[in-house]
Amino acid sequence: MLKLVSLIAALGLFISAGAASAQNAEAGAAVFKKCKACHQIGPNAENKLGPTLNDLVGRAAGSVEDFKYGDSILAAGEKGLVWSTEELANYLEDPTKYMRAYLDDNSARSAMSFKLKKEQDRLDVVAYLTTAVTAEAADTTAPETPAETRTIDEIIADQVFTAEFLEDPANFAAGKDVWFAQCTHCHGYKAYPGKAPKLKPAKYKPEFVFKRVYKGFKKMPAWNEVYTIDEVRQVVAYIKGQGFAP
Ligand code: HEC
Ligand code: HEC
């Protein structure tokens, strides 16, 4: 009887722990949106601007084949860095700072310019990357709107920007949120010069901005798997809007 009681108690604990991490993982799926411009997971994942992140926990740092890492993460891998949930959460807060501390070398730097500032976001995204989701359900290579049958180039060709759309303050505001969430670590006065050329909005047609953001170009990531067409259109309204400061 005692055995049964403790078994039930243990089971209860197990279930609640499972539920908590499932919850984190679910929240983490939303956080992972911020990573998708550069990283893929799932069975068809490919290296993009960043390496694939399958089976991350337990993996040696800098060990994805065919990905061209920076020197610091390779040095960290050689020194024995293996990704655990704690190390990942620390790394994501500030990859360059992390590499400097790990290698005890102030000239170390990370090729990942993105920082995830909120602790809860870091815990959630690590939970997401740790769960089995990585291997199966979360094939991030699948487009977000399966109903879409046009190709990327067809979608780009279909865009028309009216003055009414561009001048709508709601579009400007929504685009501004995207800009500060995902663009300022390469663009934006703090990042210049280096990560990206300074934008010259007066020179661009809105259709050109849409194309560059939606499809990417060289080291500019493509955002079509991260943002909906409408969201990218809103970023265009922001960049072309009065009060955008590149
Ligand atoms: C702007 C592009 C970009 C974004 C956004 C980005 N990363 Fe990265 N990430 C990189 C690059 C580039 C590297 C390779 C770092 C190096 O070589 O120093 C990297 C490396 C990593 C590594 C080390 C992998 C390994 O093989 O050792 C992890 C873990 C990682 N990123 C997780 C994330 C997560 C989680 C997010 C979202 C919260 C994210 N990254 C967002 C570009 C990005
Ligand atoms: C990983 C760094 C990085 C991030 C993040 C990034 N960009 Fe870029 N972006 C670039 C680089 C590099 C170029 C220049 C590409 C080239 O022409 O070689 C560029 C070019 C552009 C251009 C075209 C500029 C021109 O004069 O040709 C636009 C518009 C643009 N980015 C908008 C955005 C927006 C909007 C976001 C956020 C959704 C964003 N970028 C996020 C690196 C980045």
Whether ligand 2 lies within 6 angstroms of the CB of 75 is answered as no
Least confident of 9-18, 153-162, 231-240: 9-18
Nearest residue to 30 via CA among 106, 121, 103, 114 = 121
Let me know if the fold of 26-134 is the same as that of 152-239: yes
| pLDDT confidence bin for 6, thresholds 50/70/90 | low
Half-sphere exposure of 57 (CA within 13 A, CB side): 14
The domain defined by 152-239 folds into: Cytochrome Bc1 Complex; Chain D, domain 2 (1.10.760)
Whether ligand 2 lies within 6 angstroms of the CB of 237 is answered as no
Q: What percentage of the chain reaches a pLDDT higher than 90? A: 64
- Taking only the tens place, the pLDDT of each residue in 194-243 is 788 889 999 999 999 999 999 999 989 999 988 999 999 999 999 999 98
Least confident of 54-63, 78-87, 132-141: 132-141
Looking at residue 11, what DSSP letter applies? H
Distance 69 CA to ligand 1 centre (A): 10
**Domain residue limits, the chain:** 26-134, 152-239
Whether ligand 2 lies within 6 angstroms of the CB of 223 is answered as yes
Q: How far is CA 65 from CA 14, 23, 60, in A?
A: 36, 32, 12
CATH class of the region 26-134:
mainly alpha
Tokens read off for 166: 């561009």
pLDDT of amino acid 25: 83
Mean pLDDT of 71-85: 96
DSSP 3-state assignment of 217?
strand
pTM exceeding 0.85: no
Beta bridge partners of 60: 82
Nearest residue to 128 via CA among 35, 60, 49 = 35
Contact 112, 36 (CB under 8 A): no
Residue type, 246: P
Residue 168 has pLDDT above 90, yes or no: yes
Which residue's C-alpha comes closest to atom 41 of ligand 2?
183
Distance 233 CA to ligand 1 centre (A): 26
Residue 189 has pLDDT above 80, yes or no: no
Distance 125 CA to ligand 2 centre (A): 25
Residue 68 has pLDDT above 70, yes or no: yes
Pocket residue to mutate for ligand 1, from 38, 55, 113, 183, most atoms within 8 A of Cβ: 38
